[in-house]
């Protein structure tokens, strides 16, 4: 049994380095460190056909800055 699953990230910045990412399972949100902050993605009921098969879609919903 694995404790991670791959998901497809929809929305957010166009320059995210990856759109298919592993995330802990189960987990409600995905947080990606990007350009001095975090991009936050929430699960949807959709799936996306990818080269790695059909993956759950997580949709961007907010960005938070990293405190200096």
CB 5 within 8 A of CB 23: yes
- pLDDT tens column, 19-36: 999 998 767 899 999 999
Q: Which stretches of the chain drop beneath a pLDDT of 50? A: none
Distances, alpha carbon 57 to alpha carbons 18, 22, 49, in Å: 13, 12, 10
Residues contacting 32, CB < 8 A, separation 6+: 9, 12, 16, 21, 38, 39, 41
- pLDDT score of 2: 66
């Amino acid at each position: 049994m694995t404790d991670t699953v791959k998901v497809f990230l929809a929305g957010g910045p166009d320059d995210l380095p990856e759109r298919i990412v592993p995330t802990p399972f189960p987990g409600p949100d995905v947080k990606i460190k990007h350009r001095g902050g975090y991009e936050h993605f929430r699960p949807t009921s959709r799936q996306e056909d990818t080269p790695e098969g059909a993956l759950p879609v997580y949709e961007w919903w907010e960005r938070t800055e990293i405190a200096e």
